[in-house]
């Protein structure tokens, strides 16, 4: 069986698959009945310009037939009919872009089995999620008769294959205009329903873009990968020892306590890591704090403050977007703003314009510009600064732990629970609020206009 | 009665195109054949361009690099508590807590260091295939056969019923295969069996961006660790690994060299490359700047699929969890296997390195999780 070729967990059981196929072929048997010349939906010929399209059916006739056959209300029948259209079993002749069944004289045709969705999903195992729903159906169908239905299905399938072959043979042999039109309608309808999200023309565009995309020589990019590994080699606990020890190996969590968020004195390894890139420095909040000390001394903290505010905007809730954007504009971008950032005119123009309709990426250009400024200039000055040299000197270099087997046993019994992340997060939020309150510059202009408005 | 079953059934099949999709213009005058030949020409042109810049192989560059010593990696903790197959796990930023989910619908938060179970939630569905810890450490997200991704805020009160505060965020039309928070607790990125990935606003449940391009189930995703943080990679049953721009929803790079489903993708720590693990029993490394596959990690003796991959902190080691119950450790540069680890009694379904790289955790169908260091 195609679908049981591998042991992966998401392959459904044979039984579930059978019941699913069983239900699907019941659907196809309904369609067969609908097309029966005696008991099916009444079809007519439809003139289309100079050609005549055979076997055309009206929407209201289909819905009436379904309603009668299945003993349902008109709404249910219409919903069922819409599903048949959406999945490509029936296609509309007029307004072919809207895949719904209308309860009026709109015209439809049955899709040739060649184009039925079931033709391509029998070997596909992607729809197993359905099977949980069908568990109910399975309980009902779990009888010996189940296998007899399957046999019946095989006979139906043969009819379909013959019908399909006949249509294609006719179309091929005669190439009569009406058949050609019909085939085109069918094919178009098929692609309407089954077009993959990235159509062939879209994927060709993708290839063109990929060809034009700037690429780097292998020697350069692979060289960069190697460089990264070499830089971080001593910091990788699997390649070099953690100092004082790896908590998982010795059951002693000193390594974590020494590297907490708000330590007074960081470790030498941690301080060294800040020098690897601006990204590392900013990602470690303790490092960011140290960077802020340096920036304060240089009176150039607004770039980092802007970068932080832009991050808050990007990763914040959708509902907070406009308020944040407004505050950022007032604080950093407006002419005469208290923490005005010095970016080039073009970026400033684009950003201010974008802020008229703020979205989470509206500050992208400005943020990148500011980040680049910090990366190329401020960061290197920081690494040469007394602030950094100072912290390098002060940084701790813990001794390697040397536990005896008895010590290790003790450690295992006394594993420290540490501080819960929720508590740490609450502390962090409190600190942030304190800092924000302390450093908020008095916006004289805003205060004045507020007073003006109140008057 | 079977009418409603039918409607339900059809709804869960590949979801029908929305009216918006149907209104795209079909290029009627371009026959499919013409587009197909153009596609083939473009594909070979792309390969040509890629080949022009390919001046050196990874193992050549690796020749100058020191070899690795012997490794002693052992199971340091075994976490027992799940009653069924463990399907997914994720680390908390505190480097010691983890969240894990299993086939029986249970999601457990552990302090892996002490092995204490801190929270347990029972999901209303089975096969919870995805779970993630929020960056703040204050919530977890999970989902699976319910087609949703739900967020559970955690509490310091051990007796609190977490299910009461559950928040449904993502809604897909097929199973949820993976989920991840972005840089904050406010957004979740999901991938699904419905062939799409999506970015959601947690507070409102609003869909912020959807990503279409996979031709089959998407099984995994990983967010780029870059300073811009705007891209992610996904892998699917269509054997493709796609790199996406989160802002525009566009697929910016695509790689199709695997021979079977891609079960796991993980970025190299610098963000300039990523690794993938597949049912074809290989792990591969893709260089994003050179836009090509640069290494294949495989052995004749390894015939079972890879379920999960992750890098060590420096990127030198690639850990792979396999369906033959083992973990293979690869030297990323030299392409050789440096270690094979035994211990699990059934297939390894998930593997993640801790945030500070001091250990990695594996989850298995043998109902346990193991911490290795």
Q: For residues A233 and A239, is the Cβ–Cβ distance under 8 A?
A: yes
Mean per-residue pLDDT of chain A:
78
Nearest to A213 among B127, B291, B359 (CB): B291
List CB contacts (< 8 A) between B114 and chain A.
415, 417
Nearest to B95 among A83, A224, A256 (CB): A256
Q: Do A425 and B136 touch (CB under 8 A)?
A: yes
Q: Counting beta carbons within 10 angstroms of the beta carbon of residue A143, is it exposed (0 to 12), middle (13 to 18) or buried (19 or more)?
A: exposed
Chain B residue with minimum CA distance to A257: B94
* Mean pLDDT across A20-35: 72
Chain A residue with minimum CA distance to B46: A211
Q: Do A415 and B357 touch (CB under 8 A)?
A: no
Q: Do A98 and B22 touch (CB under 8 A)?
A: yes
Chain B residue with minimum CA distance to A217: B53
Q: Counting beta carbons within 10 angstroms of the beta carbon of residue A73, is it exposed (0 to 12), middle (13 to 18) or buried (19 or more)?
A: exposed
Task: Determine the Cα–Cα distance for residues B341 and A306; give it in Å rounded to an integer.
Answer: 47
**Three-state DSSP class for residue B2:** helix
Give the residue from A225, A279, A374 with the most B CB atoms within 10 Å of its CB, the best one to mutate: A225
For A395, what's the count of Cα atoms within 13 Å in the CB-facing half-sphere? Answer: 21
List CB contacts (< 8 A) between A100 and chain B.
19
List CB contacts (< 8 A) between B201 and chain A.
317-318
Q: Do A421 and B138 touch (CB under 8 A)?
A: yes
Q: For residues B76 and B359, is the Cβ–Cβ distance under 8 A?
A: yes
Exposed e or buried b per residue across B230-249, where buried means at least 16 C-beta atoms within 10 angstroms of its C-beta = bbbbbbbbbbbbbbbebbeb
Q: Give the phi and the psi of residue B334 in degrees, each rounded to 5.
A: -85, -15
**Three-state DSSP class for residue B302:** coil
Nearest C-alpha neighbor of B363 from the set B324, B318, B312, B308:
B308
> What band does A441 get if pLDDT is binned at 50, 70 and 90?
low
- Provide, rounded to the nearest whole percent, the portion of chain B with pLDDT above 70: 91
Chain B residue with minimum CA distance to A200: B35
DSSP letter (8 states) at residue B165:
G
* Mean pLDDT across A95-108: 82
Q: How close A345 comes to chain B (CA, Å)?
A: 22
Nearest to A319 among B6, B204, B208 (CB): B204
Q: Do A207 and B43 touch (CB under 8 A)?
A: yes
Of B363 and B54, more confident: B363
* Mean pLDDT across A294-316: 93
Residue B254's H or E segment, with its range, is: strand B251-255
- Write the CA distances from A320 to A5, A307, A337, B246, integer angstroms: 50, 17, 21, 19
Bridge-based pairing state of the strands B317-322 and B306-311: antiparallel
What is residue A138's predicted lDDT score, i.e. its pLDDT? 39
- Provide, rounded to the nearest whole percent, the portion of chain B with pLDDT above 90: 82
List CB contacts (< 8 A) between A314 and chain B.
183
Task: Determine the Cα–Cα distance for residues B25 and A199; give it in Å rounded to an integer.
Answer: 11
The domains of chain B are located at 124-366
**Three-state DSSP class for residue B48:** helix
Dihedral angle sign, alpha carbons of residues A158, A162, A163, A168: positive
Nearest to A215 among B11, B290, B294 (CB): B290
For the record, the structure tokens of B345 come out as 């009694």
Task: Determine the Cα–Cα distance for residues A202 and B329; give it in Å rounded to an integer.
Answer: 39
Q: Do A129 and B145 touch (CB under 8 A)?
A: yes
Overall residue count recorded for chain B in this entry: 373
pLDDT digits over B170-192, tens only?
A: 999 999 999 999 999 999 999 99
Nearest to A211 among B42, B193, B216 (CB): B42
Nearest to A232 among B175, B237, B313 (CB): B313
Task: Determine the Cα–Cα distance for residues B325 and B198; give it in Å rounded to an integer.
Answer: 32
Q: Do B111 and A315 touch (CB under 8 A)?
A: no
Q: How close A201 comes to chain B (CA, Å)?
A: 7
List CB contacts (< 8 A) between B58 and chain A.
222, 225
What is residue A106's predicted lDDT score, i.e. its pLDDT? 87
Task: Determine the Cα–Cα distance for residues A93 and A58; give it in Å rounded to an integer.
Answer: 10
Task: Determine the Cα–Cα distance for residues A142 and A19; give it in Å rounded to an integer.
Answer: 9
Task: Determine the Cα–Cα distance for residues A72 and A64; give it in Å rounded to an integer.
Answer: 10
* Mean pLDDT across B312-334: 98
Nearest to B8 among A133, A220, A230 (CB): A133
**Three-state DSSP class for residue B141:** strand
What is residue A189's predicted lDDT score, i.e. its pLDDT? 60
* Mean pLDDT across B308-326: 98
Residue identified by tokens 């056959």 is A69
The arrangement of secondary structure in B124-366, i.e. its CATH architecture, is 7 Propeller (2.130)
Nearest to A192 among B22, B154, B287 (CB): B22
Q: Do A248 and B292 touch (CB under 8 A)?
A: no
pLDDT digits over A345-399, tens only?
A: 999 999 999 998 888 899 999 999 999 999 999 999 999 999 999 999 999 999 9
Q: Give the phi and the psi of residue A65 in degrees, each rounded to 5.
A: -60, -45
Cα Rg of chain A, angstroms: 35
* Mean pLDDT across B301-313: 97
List CB contacts (< 8 A) between B10 and chain A.
83, 86-87
Chain A residue with minimum CA distance to B76: A248
What is residue A240's predicted lDDT score, i.e. its pLDDT? 96
**Three-state DSSP class for residue B162:** helix
**Three-state DSSP class for residue B241:** strand
pLDDT digits over B3-26, tens only?
A: 555 555 555 444 444 444 444 444
Chain A residue with minimum CA distance to B50: A215
List CB contacts (< 8 A) between A198 and chain B.
212-213, 251
Sequence-distant (6+) residues with CB within 8 A of B68 are A239, B316, B317, B331, B338
List CB contacts (< 8 A) between A217 and chain B.
53-55, 290
What ipTM is given for this predicted complex?
Answer: 0.90
Q: Is the pLDDT of residue B367 over 80?
A: yes
Nearest to A129 among B12, B206, B305 (CB): B12
Q: Do A424 and B76 touch (CB under 8 A)?
A: no
* Mean pLDDT across A268-287: 97
Sequence-distant (6+) residues with CB within 8 A of B202 are A317, B151, B167, B169, B185, B186, B187, B188
pLDDT digits over B72-119, tens only?
A: 999 999 999 999 999 999 999 999 999 999 999 999 999 999 999 999
Residue B373 burial (CB count, 10 A)? 22
How many CB contacts within 8 angstroms connect chain A with chain B?
A: 326
For the record, the structure tokens of B280 come out as 């074809």
Chain A residue with minimum CA distance to B226: A279
Chain B residue with minimum CA distance to A224: B272
List CB contacts (< 8 A) between A129 and chain B.
12, 145, 147, 174-175, 193
Give the residue from B33, B350, B357 with the most A CB atoms within 10 Å of its CB, the best one to mutate: B357
Cα Rg of chain B, angstroms: 21
Residue B314's H or E segment, with its range, is: none
Residue B5's H or E segment, with its range, is: helix B2-12
Q: How close B47 comes to chain A (CA, Å)?
A: 9
Chain B residue with minimum CA distance to A237: B358
Instruction: Please state which of the ranges A153-157, A170-174, B291-295 shows the lowest mean pLDDT.
Output: A153-157
Nearest to B227 among A20, A255, A279 (CB): A279
What is residue A170's predicted lDDT score, i.e. its pLDDT? 55
Residue identified by tokens 């090509």 is B292
pLDDT digits over B237-289, tens only?
A: 999 999 999 999 999 999 999 999 999 999 999 999 999 999 999 999 999 99
Nearest to B186 among A130, A203, A316 (CB): A316
Q: Do A315 and B356 touch (CB under 8 A)?
A: no
Task: Determine the Cα–Cα distance for residues A331 and A328; give it in Å rounded to an integer.
Answer: 5
Q: How close A151 comes to chain B (CA, Å)?
A: 21
What does the H/E/C string look like for chain A?
A: CHHHCCCCCCCCCHHHHHHHHHHHHHHHHHHHHHCCCCCCCCCEEEEECCEEEEEEEEHHHHHHHHHHHHCCCHHHHHHHHHHHHHCCCEEECCCCCCCCCCCCCCEEEECCHHHCCHHHHCCCCCCCCHHHHHHHHHHHHCCCHHHHHHHHHHHHHHHHHHHHHHHHHHHHHHCCHHHHHHHHHHHHHHHHHHCCCCCHHHHHHHHHHHHHCCCCCHHHHHHHHHHHHHHHHHHCCCCCCCCCCCHHHHCCCHHHHHCCCCCCCCEHHHHHHHCCCHHHHHHCHHHHHHHHHHHHHHCCCHHHHHHHHHHHHHCCCHHHHHHHHHHHHHHHHCCCCCCCCCCCHHHHHHHHHHCCCCCCCCCHHHHHHHHHHHHHHHHHHHHHCHHHHHHHHHCECCCCCCCCHHHHHHHHHCCCCCCCHHHHHHHHHHHHHHHHHHHCCCCHHHHHHHHHHHC
* Mean pLDDT across A270-295: 96
Nearest C-alpha neighbor of B276 from the set B334, B327, B235:
B235
The answer to whether the pTM exceeds 0.90 is no
pLDDT digits over A75-96, tens only?
A: 888 888 887 887 778 888 877 6
Give the residue from A184, A229, A277 with the most B CB atoms within 10 Å of its CB, the best one to mutate: A229
What is residue A125's predicted lDDT score, i.e. its pLDDT? 32
Q: Do B314 and A196 touch (CB under 8 A)?
A: no
Task: Determine the Cα–Cα distance for residues B260 and B347; give it in Å rounded to an integer.
Answer: 18
Residue A204 burial (CB count, 10 A)? 18
């Amino acid at each position: 069986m195609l679908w049981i070729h591998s042991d992966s967990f998401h392959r459904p059981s044979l039984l579930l698959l059978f019941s699913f196929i069983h239900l699907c072929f019941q659907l196809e048997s309904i369609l067969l009945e609908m097309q029966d010349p005696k008991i099916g939906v009444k079809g007519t010929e439809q003139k289309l310009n100079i050609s005549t399209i055979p076997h055309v059916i009206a929407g209201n006739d289909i819905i009436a037939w379904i309603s009668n056959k299945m003993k349902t209300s008109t709404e249910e029948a219409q919903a069922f009919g819409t599903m048949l259209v959406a999945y490509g079993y029936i296609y509309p002749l007029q307004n072919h872009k809207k895949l719904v069944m209308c309860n009026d004289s709109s015209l439809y045709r049955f899709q040739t089995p060649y184009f039925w969705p079931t033709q391509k999903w029998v070997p596909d195992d992607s729809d197993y999620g359905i099977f949980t729903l069908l568990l109910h159906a399975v309980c009902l169908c779990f009888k010996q008769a189940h296998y007899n239905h399957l046999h019946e299905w095989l006979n139906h399938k043969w009819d379909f294959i013959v019908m399909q072959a006949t249509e294609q043979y006719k179309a091929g042999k005669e190439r009569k205009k009406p058949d050609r039109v019909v085939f085109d309608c069918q094919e178009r309808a098929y692609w309407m329903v089954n077009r993959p999200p990235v159509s062939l023309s879209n994927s060709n565009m993708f290839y063109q873009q990929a060809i034009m995309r700037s690429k780097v020589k292998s020697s350069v990019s692979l060289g960069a990968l190697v460089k990264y590994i070499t830089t971080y080699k001593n910091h990788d606990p699997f390649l070099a020892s953690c100092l004082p020890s790896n908590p998982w190996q010795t059951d002693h969590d000193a390594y974590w306590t020494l590297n907490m968020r708000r330590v007074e004195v960081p470790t030498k390894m941690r301080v060294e890591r800040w020098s690897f890139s601006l990204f590392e420095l900013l990602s470690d909040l303790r490092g960011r704090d140290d960077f802020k000390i340096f920036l304060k001394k240089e009176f150039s903290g607004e770039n980092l403050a802007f970068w932080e505010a832009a991050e808050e905007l990007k990763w914040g809730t959708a509902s907070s977007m406009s308020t944040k954007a407004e505050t950022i504009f007032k604080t950093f971008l407006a002419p005469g703003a208290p923490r005005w950032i010095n970016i080039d005119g073009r970026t400033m123009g684009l950003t201010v314009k974008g802020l008229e309709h703020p979205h989470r990426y509206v500050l992208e250009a400005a943020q990148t510009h500011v980040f680049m400024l910090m990366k190329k200039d401020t960061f290197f000055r920081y690494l040469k600064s007394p602030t950094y040299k100072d912290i390098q000197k002060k940084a701790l270099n813990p001794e390697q732990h040397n536990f005896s087997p008895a010590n290790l046993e003790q450690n295992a019994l006394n594993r420290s629970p540490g501080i819960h992340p929720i508590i740490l997060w609450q502390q962090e939020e409190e600190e942030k609020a304190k800092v924000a309150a302390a450093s908020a510059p008095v916006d004289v202009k805003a205060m004045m206009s507020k007073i003006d408005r109140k008057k | 009665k079977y009418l409603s079953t039918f409607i339900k059934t059809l709804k869960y099949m590949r979801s029908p195109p929305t009216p918006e999709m149907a209104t795209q213009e079909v290029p009627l005058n371009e026959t499919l054949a013409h587009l197909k030949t153009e596609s083939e020409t473009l594909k070979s042109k792309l390969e040509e361009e890629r080949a022009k810049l390919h001046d050196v192989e990874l193992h050549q560059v690796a020749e100058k690099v020191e070899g690795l010593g012997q490794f002693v990696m052992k199971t340091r903790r075994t976490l027992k508590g799940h009653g069924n197959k463990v399907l997914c796990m994720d680390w908390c930023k505190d480097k010691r807590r983890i969240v894990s989910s299993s086939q029986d619908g249970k999601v457990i938060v552990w302090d892996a260091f002490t092995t204490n179970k801190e929270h347990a939630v029972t999901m209303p569905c089975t096969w919870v295939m995805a779970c993630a810890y929020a960056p703040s450490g204050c919530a977890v997200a999970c989902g699976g056969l319910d087609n949703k991704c739900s967020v559970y805020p955690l509490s310091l009160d051990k007796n609190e019923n977490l299910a009461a505060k559950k928040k449904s965020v993502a809604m897909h039309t097929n199973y949820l295969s993976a989920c991840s928070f972005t840089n904050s607790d406010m957004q979740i990125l999901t991938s699904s069996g419905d062939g799409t990935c999506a970015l959601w606003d947690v507070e409102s449940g609003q869909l912020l961006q959807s990503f279409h391009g996979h031709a089959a189930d998407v099984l995994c995703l990983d967010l780029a660790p870059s300073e811009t943080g705007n891209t992610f990679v996904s892998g699917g049953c269509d054997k493709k690994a796609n790199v996406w721009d989160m802002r525009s929803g566009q697929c910016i790079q695509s790689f199709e060299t695997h021979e079977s489903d891609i079960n796991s993708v993980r970025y190299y720590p610098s963000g300039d490359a990523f690794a993938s693990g597949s049912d074809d029993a290989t792990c591969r490394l893709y260089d994003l700047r050179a836009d090509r596959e640069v290494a294949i990690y495989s052995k004749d003796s390894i015939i079972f699929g890879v379920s999960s991959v992750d890098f060590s902190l420096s990127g030198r080691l690639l850990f792979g969890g396999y369906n033959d119950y083992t973990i293979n450790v690869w030297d990323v540069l030299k392409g050789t296997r440096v270690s094979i680890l035994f211990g699990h009694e059934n297939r390894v379904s998930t593997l993640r390195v801790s945030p500070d790289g001091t250990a990695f955790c594996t989850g298995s169908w043998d109902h346990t999780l193991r911490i290795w260091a």
